[in-house]
Structure 1
Amino acid sequence: MMIQPLYQAPHHAEQVTEWLWLAFGQGLSRAFFASVIEHSQQPDALPLTFIATEGETLLGTVGLWRCDLISRQDLFPWLAALYIDEPQRGRGLGQALQQHVIQYARQQGYASLHLYAAFRDYYERFGWQHIGEGIDYPDTRVNLYRYTL
């Protein structure tokens, strides 16, 4: 398995867009996610999208974004849009993608990372600290996490 920035394999952008739209697109257009992916492929700039592949098979994706939760723009940066293709789940890819972003963020000099999730008890297993609740647009309670680098 290899984890790399999407800009090094841009032919996977359509599939990443589709995954994110289907997984996280409640009420949002596919064009919205296409724009996010299009603008997350610049070297050494945020937002940034990473992908996990085996040969030419796309396994999963994760982002390092400036902001993922509009109501908490005081937190920066964010591990965002972690998605593993269903047939690939259970192989530790979620942890591998998290660790890749953590390592990258550490190398960039960030002090911490943030994320939000609708559920509990997954990210805690990987060292994330639950720091409270937040509100996702338009009015959904979510759990906030911090990873100290």
Structure 2
Amino acid sequence: MSAKGAVFLRETLHVDALDKDGKKFDRVSRISGRTKDSDLDVSIDVNTEIYPVKPGDDYSLALAHSLVAAGSSSGSSYASDPSQAWRDVGKGDRKTLADDYDYVMGGRVFKFEDAGKDRVSLLISYGGLLMSIEGPPRYFSGVSKGQTVYLMMRKA
């Protein structure tokens, strides 16, 4: 886990299952797994047409409030408004957090609740693709309902 900059979680996700409740859409699969170090249970809808995933594989996973890379020039158009970071991706030589990952989605927290036994559940919608992450509350301090959260993944 990392609290550095906009990133509030960095973990390695081990994918245990793909579409364990059956496949509902042609181009989307729901991956289910557990993080290696943080005791988090994760379920993510992934567009497998553009980013294929396999059960048994490990993926580096990061969650961030912004795509602004640490050390970005404060003069850049998105440094002052992190919610607009996606608009400048790929323009000029400005580096973003997305540059280090293969699959990136931006979404909003729509549910944040107590899951019992000293665990919380966070549900995020990425334009209809959903993510559920459950674990100890210490990993989600500073996260609230309605907040923007970027998901970034790459093969570990």
Shorter-chain TM band: under 0.3
If asked which structure has higher relative contact order (CA below 8 Å, sep 6+), I would say: 2
- Give the alignment's TM-score, normalised by structure 1: 0.25
Asked which structure has the greater CA Rg, the reply is 2
Which protein is richer in helix relative to its size?
Answer: 1
Which protein is richer in strand relative to its size?
Answer: 2
- Give the alignment's TM-score, normalised by structure 2: 0.24
